[in-house]
Amino acid sequence: MSGRLPPAKTLLWWLCGVTACVGVIGALGRLIPVFGPHSGALISLLLFVSAVAAAHRYQLDNPEIGLTLERPRVWAVQALAWFVITAVPWTPLFLAWSGLMKTGGWTSAFTSPQEWINSFQREWAAFQFRLPDGFAGLALSQVLAVALPEELFYRGLVQGHLERCWPARRRLWGAPVGRALLATSAVFAAGHVISYMHPQQAGVFFPALLYGWLRARSGGVAAPVLVHAGHNLWAAVMWESVWR
């Protein structure tokens, strides 16, 4: 370890400041129409610059913030496998949820399992696969302008540092897991809730656990970047196919 690391409390206070800035940018995007389309890009830029600045401030090497391409075949296979494992069960749930939202709104989500099954069957019967317009550009932007800045900041810098401050006492499928993984995932979810001002965004806590586990398992952010971007792209494809 070559860097001069701050205590965990210092990092968490600094993290609160970055999260507050994310909230301000998100609020400006909702209040000022001309600013709205650019708020996401500004948040990504903020996260990227914050990660790079912290790495420079504390003299962290690239591998210490997850920028490593060691064993590329291994993490590429892991990324593909975990994308499939998570996307397959999520897809029918999204179809069923979409059907319920179309018929009764949020209250209809609190219904019987049979209604969820019926909703899925209706949506599946009417399903037409569509790619969003400009899909190639969308894919590139999801990797470089969304997943990379977020993973570099949250999983690369924050989780990587917290793992050194709070060493994990347990391992799950070959990866150390502990307070660092939970704390980073919670902050990641909080940032989304504050940015979008919608409690539904708290649900990103659960995929964040996977991204964090991949970071710990592979030693870098390449695998979580690919899975993160894959999740966002598949969600965009499903939204286009179901709601338009």
Whether residue 173 lies inside any domain: the answer is yes
For residue 75, give both structure tokens: 């993490």
The count of domains in the chain is 1
Cα–Cα distance between 208 and 32 in angstroms, integer?
A: 30
Whether residue 1 lies inside any domain: the answer is no
pLDDT 10s digits, 20-63: 899 999 999 989 988 888 899 999 999 999 999 988 888 888 88
Whether residue 210 lies inside any domain: the answer is yes
The confidence score (pLDDT) of residue 25 equals 93
The type of residue at 175 is: A
Collect the ranges in the chain with pLDDT lower than 50: 1
3-state secondary structure of 170: strand
Contact predicate 146/232, CB 8 Å: yes
For residue 81, give both structure tokens: 């496998």
Whether residue 3 lies inside any domain: the answer is no
- Compute and round to an integer the Cα radius of gyration of the chain: 19
* Closest-CA residue to 11 (of 187, 141, 215): 187
The confidence score (pLDDT) of residue 4 equals 62
Whether residue 125 lies inside any domain: the answer is yes
Whether residue 178 lies inside any domain: the answer is yes
The single residue listed with the structure tokens 């830029």 is 45
Strand pairing partners for 177?
170
Q: Which domain holds residue 231?
A: 8-243
* Closest-CA residue to 225 (of 42, 76, 10): 76
Instruction: Give the burial string for 40-68 (b: 16+ CB within 10 Å, else e).
Output: bebbbebbbebbbebbeebebeebbbbbb
The confidence score (pLDDT) of residue 244 equals 82
The DSSP element (H or E) to which 176 belongs, if any, is: strand 175-177
Q: Is the dihedral of CA 205, 19, 229, 148 positive or negative?
A: negative
The confidence score (pLDDT) of residue 34 equals 86
Contact predicate 47/150, CB 8 Å: yes
The confidence score (pLDDT) of residue 37 equals 87
